[in-house]
Each structure stands twice: as structure tokens, then as C-alpha cells.
Amino acid sequence: MSGQALRAPGGHDLTGTGVLYRLALRRDRIALPVWVYIGTAMVASTVFSFRTLYADEASRRTFAAGIDGNGSLRALYGPVFDGSTTGGLTAWRMGVFGAVLAALMSTLLVVRHTRAEEEDGRLELVGAGAVGRRAPLTAALAAALTANAALAALVTAALLAAGQGAAGSLAFGLALGTAGLFFAALAAVAAQLAETARAANGLAGAAVGAAFVLRAIGDAGTGASWISWLSPIGWSEQVRAFADDRWWVLLLPLAGAALLTALARTLVARRDLGAGLLPQRPGPAAAPPALASAAALARRLQRGPLLGWALALAAAGAVFGGVAKGVVDLIGDNRQMAEVLARMGGQQGVLDAYLSSIATVFGMVAAVYAVQAVLRMRAEEVSGRAEPVLAGAVSRLRWAAGHLLFPLLGTALLLAAAGLTAGLAEGLALGHGTGTAVGRMLGAALVQLPAVWLTAAVALAGYALLPHLAAAGWTGFGVFVLVAWLGPILRLPQGVLDLSPFSHLPHLPGGRLDAAPLLWITALTALTTAAALAGLRRRDLG
């Protein structure tokens, strides 16, 4: 990518924005609706479940008081501004996470249509047409505006449908949408600084993470609540939907988005196409001696993502373990909630039920990783990078084995990391022996492994046997997780629940450790893997 700047005659630097905007929406016609749907569905399911679980005002007030007395819960979700209404509780429960979701949707979208396009060289093709210098950036931001407006409208509609107040519903929808818009503009700046899409997503993701942490510190209730005001996610909370409906706070993210957009527009005009403003480091001129096999290449490609997942799961373990006490106190007197938890996994006692349900969540998250690690093979094949490797003295089985080590052992590492930190945090928070707590949580997390492996094996079979269907790898995961997660809430019949290997796992801690399901799920994994590999050996590649 050489350094010709995107030049257009003065005053026409927005030419072509409309075409690029429609192109962006067309390319994202699946992804954006899915993001918006997930955001809306999360809010809708929260408001509906709160309506059933805390039907009267007294129970809502008790619940809210419990949250306010618990620093770790406030750090995770923020404070409750008005616990008397279902809308207020929903705003508490979904405010921070909804804003994070809108932020990630927006940053990924903007980087996808700016820096990623530029890195792949497609923008060069577009830039050579009658397209203004600022058109691609403007089109990406316009697409982000569309997505966030849709999210705000649908979230508002979902809350209205659940019978919540109109002003509060609108305030909450706009609080999420404006947070998304702010981070879209921030990603536009990141896309100018970094030379690669990955680095731009990293910068924008770090900003979202920093915003989350800043408001967590402020909300934890150590007397420094002003820190929340430094965070755009904090602004989203401070709109106080269903409590005060402070509309003026919405101006903060909007003003921030305007400033960042102006900055990005200045930067895009000052740099060459393809160049970033942050320097790019050169790599080594020769490979280290160890990089000498297909397995070594697979390790090199997969180790970074594995490390990232392990850190994220360890952090999630610490958070979920740390809030164990608060959850137990909260749920203690709500029979219905305890019942849902018990159906999801818990056996005896609210604490065991809670810990068991988070172990299931760890298992499902590890399954996402496993499917993604399996599908790295598909990415290598589709991009043509597998071809020169397999034109070397490398058999397909060896090539596949190098990659499959990650869904096999990487998942064990992830679950161990999550179990370790969850047990440690829970032990410290509840003040009983950390050694026992760690042992219990490690076991509860690791017992998920056979189901995670089977999910990975089904993904492998999809990739190996139906190579032309990109979605084949994810179908098994979708069925397994939807059934195991939503099945108990929707009270699906046992026959349907049995479809998911996660439904067959022993409920640890607290439940009986029954080895039989672990063994047959593992055996099924081995059979599926063998069939998939036999298919991979026989089929056309590339």
C-alpha cells in the first residue's frame, strides 16, 4: 500500500458518502441486526423476569437495598437509582452492560468499515473512484448512527411493551444509543492512529475497558463517586432512567462524539492512505529455530488469542466469585429466583446453586473459544494460507492436530483459570477457607470440559464435512448452548434439554460427581473427531 493520499477537489471531500453508507449497511445486513437484537433481547428478558421475580414494590425495595449495601455488586452493575419500579431495576441491571454492548457494536463497526477496508486494500480501489477523502469515515459513522438509533428505538419499544413509563423507557434507550455513538467516534480516531484493524480494535476496546473500570471504581461506593463522571459509560448510568430522567446528561456523550468526529476528520485529511499515526515495528528477518512445523505455526497463530481469553476468563472468575456473597444475600429470600438458579444447575443451598450456575457459564464461554479455535483452520483454508503449508511435507492430520491442541488443552487452561480465580475470590469474600473454595470451583469448572470438547468436535465435523457452509461450525454450539441456557428458564421438556451435553454434566459444587455422563460425552467426542478427521483427509481442500 503506497502512499497516495485520498485526494478530491476542494469542497467535494464527502462525494460518494451515500454509496459507501449503503454499501456498509448492505455488508452488515446480518451482523448489525444481530447486535441490535441481542441488545434488545437482553433488556427485554431482564424487564420481563424482574416483573415476575419482584412483582410488588416491597420486594423490589428489599432487593435494591441489598444491592446498595454491597460494594462488589455496585462495582459490577452500578448503583440503583430508583428501586421502587421494575424499570428502575432494569436500568440498574442492564445500564452498564447495555452501554458496553452498544460501545463494542459501534467500535467494531467503525473499524470494520474504515481501517480494515484500508488495510485490505479495498479502500484504495474505492478511493480511486469519485469518492471524497472523508467519505469512507463519514459513511462508517453514519452507519454507526443508524445502528445506535435502531438500538435505542427498539430498547425503548421493548420497555414500553413491558408496561414501563414512556419517559424512562426513552431515556434508557437514548442512554445506550448515545454511549454507542460516543464510542463509534472514538473508534474513528483509533482507526486513524493505528495502521491495522487489529490494533485499532485493540485501542478502542481498551478505551471501553477503561471506561468500565473507571465507573466501577466510582460506583463501588468508596466516596469517590465523581470518578464515574470521567467515564462515558458512567454518563450513560447518570442519565438515571426511570429515576430522575436527567436528559441533559445525554449531551455529554453527544458533545464528546462531535469532538472526536472532528478530530478523526482532521486526522484522516493529514495522513496518507494506508498509513497510521502510530509507528509500526519491524519483525525479525529470520524465523526462530522452533518455527519449523505446521504445529509450531499453529501455536504461533493461536497463542495470542488463548492468552487473551485466559486473562478475560480469570477476570470474569474473580468478579463472579467476588460477588458470590452479595448474590447469596440477595437471593436468600426470593424463592422464585433460587428456583431458577436451581433449575440451571444448583442442587442444594443458594451458594452452591450460584457457583454451579457460574461454572456452567464458564463452560459455555470456553465452548465459544473452542469453536473459534477450531474454525481457525477454516480461516486458514479459505484465505489460501493453508495451501502452501500443505504443499510442504505436512499431512493433513498433522496440520489439523497442531490446531486441535488448542480446543483440547487450551479449553482446560481457560476453565482452570476461571475456576481458580472464582474459588479464590469467593473464598476471600465469604471468609471461609480459600483452599477448599479453590478446589471446589476448580472441579466445578473442569467438569465442564467434556461438553466443551463435544461442542468443539461438532464444530470440527461441520468444518471438515460441510466446508462450504460457513455457519456449519457454529450450529452445534448454538443448539447446545441455547438449550442448556434458555431451556430451564423456558421450562422446555427434558427430552429437549437432553440434546445438550451441558444438561448432562454433574452439578458441582454440591451435586453428586457422576462419572458416567463425563465418560460417554468424551467417547462421543472421540467418535465425532475421528469421523471429522477421516472426512478432512478425504475431501478437496481450498
Partner 1 sequence: MTTAISVSGLVKTFGRTRALDGLDLTVEQGEVHGFLGPNGSGKSTTIRVLLGLLRADSGTAVLLGGDPWRDAVPLHRRLAYVPGDVTLWRNLSGGEAIDLLGRLRGGLDPARRAALLERFELDPTKKGRTYSKGNRQKVALVAAFASDVDLLILDEPTSGLDPLMEEVFRDCVTEARDRGATVLLSSHILSEVEALCDRVSIIRAGRTVETGTLADLRHLTRTSIDAELAGPPPRPDYVHDLAVDGHRLRCQVDTDRLGELLTALNAVGLRTLTSRPPTLEELFLRHYEGDGGATEPSAAAVVR
Task: Answer yes or no: are the C-beta atoms of 159 and 172 closer than 8 Å.
Answer: yes
Question: Between 99 and 138, how does the x/- string for binding to partner 1 read (CB under 8 A)?
Answer: --------------------x-------------------
Binding range to partner 1, per CB under 8 A, among 68-76, 285-293, 402-410, 506-514 = 285-293
CA distance 149 to 62: 35
Task: Answer yes or no: are the C-beta atoms of 473 and 329 closer than 8 Å.
Answer: no
Angle at 358 (CA atoms; ends 354, 360), nearest 5 degrees: 120
- CB neighbour list of residue 10: distance below 8 Å, 6 or more residues apart: none
- Whose Cβ is closer to partner 1: residue 432's or residue 539's? 539
3-state SS, 337-389, equals: HHHHHHHHCCCCCHHHHHHHHHHHHHHHHHHHHHHHHHCHHHHHHHHCCHHHH
CB of 87 to partner 1, least distance (A): 46
Q: Does 540 bind partner 1 (CB under 8 A)?
A: yes
Q: List the one residue from 163, 304, 433, 478 that touches partner 1 (CB under 8 A).
A: 304
Which DSSP state fits 226? G
Q: What are phi and psi of 282, to 5 degrees?
A: -75, 160
CB of 193 to partner 1, least distance (A): 16
Task: Answer yes or no: are the C-beta atoms of 94 and 43 closer than 8 Å.
Answer: yes
- Whose Cβ is closer to partner 1: residue 51's or residue 398's? 398
Q: Does 291 bind partner 1 (CB under 8 A)?
A: yes
- Whose Cβ is closer to partner 1: residue 33's or residue 542's? 542
> Is the alpha carbon torsion for 8, 11, 17, 18 positive or negative?
negative
CA distance 177 to 155: 9
Dihedral (Cα; 536, 539, 540, 542), 10-degree rounding = -20
CB of 286 to partner 1, least distance (A): 5
CB of 276 to partner 1, least distance (A): 11
Q: List the one residue from 394, 405, 413, 466 that touches partner 1 (CB under 8 A).
A: 394
CA distance 368 to 447: 17
Q: Does 196 bind partner 1 (CB under 8 A)?
A: yes
Q: List the one residue from 9, 10, 30, 391 that touches partner 1 (CB under 8 A).
A: 391
Q: Where are the beta strands (DSSP E) in 248-289?
A: none
- Whose Cβ is closer to partner 1: residue 496's or residue 541's? 541
Write the CA distances from 98 to 66, 95, 236, 237, 359, integer angstroms: 22, 5, 9, 10, 23
Binding range to partner 1, per CB under 8 A, among 391-399, 412-420, 423-431, 453-461 = 391-399
CB of 398 to partner 1, least distance (A): 8
Considering only residues 351 to 390 of the shown chain, the ones binding partner 1 according to CB under 8 A are: 383-385, 387-390
CA distance 177 to 102: 7
Considering only residues 1 to 40 of the shown chain, the ones binding partner 1 according to CB under 8 A are: 1-2
Q: List the one residue from 4, 222, 395, 436 that touches partner 1 (CB under 8 A).
A: 395
Binding range to partner 1, per CB under 8 A, among 3-11, 78-86, 300-308, 446-454 = 300-308
Binding range to partner 1, per CB under 8 A, among 81-89, 283-291, 404-412, 524-532 = 283-291
CB of 526 to partner 1, least distance (A): 25
Q: List the one residue from 300, 413, 465, 479 that touches partner 1 (CB under 8 A).
A: 300
Other CB atoms within 10 Å distance of the CB of residue 315: 14
Q: Does 283 bind partner 1 (CB under 8 A)?
A: yes
CA distance 540 to 394: 16
Write the CA distances from 8 to 141, 271, 405, 450, integer angstroms: 20, 14, 51, 58
Q: List the one residue from 22, 122, 432, 538 that touches partner 1 (CB under 8 A).
A: 538
> What cell does 378 get?
477454516
- Whose Cβ is closer to partner 1: residue 11's or residue 284's? 284
Q: Does 393 bind partner 1 (CB under 8 A)?
A: yes
Q: Does 541 bind partner 1 (CB under 8 A)?
A: yes
Q: Does 287 bind partner 1 (CB under 8 A)?
A: yes
Q: Does 301 bind partner 1 (CB under 8 A)?
A: yes
CB of 377 to partner 1, least distance (A): 14
- Whose Cβ is closer to partner 1: residue 122's or residue 538's? 538
Closest by Cα among 88, 86, 94 to 42:
94
Q: Does 489 bind partner 1 (CB under 8 A)?
A: no
Closest by Cα among 388, 380, 442 to 415:
442
Task: Answer yes or no: are the C-beta atoms of 381 and 411 closer than 8 Å.
Answer: no
> Is the alpha carbon torsion for 45, 479, 33, 200 positive or negative?
positive
Task: Answer yes or no: are the C-beta atoms of 129 and 16 closer than 8 Å.
Answer: yes
Q: Does 294 bind partner 1 (CB under 8 A)?
A: yes
Q: List the one residue from 27, 198, 271, 343 that touches partner 1 (CB under 8 A).
A: 198
Q: List the one residue from 49, 84, 293, 347 that touches partner 1 (CB under 8 A).
A: 293
Query: Distance of alpha carbon 427 from its chain centroid, rounded?
Result: 27
Task: List interacting residues with partner 1 (CB under 8 A).
Answer: 1-2, 119, 195-196, 198, 280, 282-287, 291-294, 296-297, 300-301, 304, 383-385, 387-395, 538-542
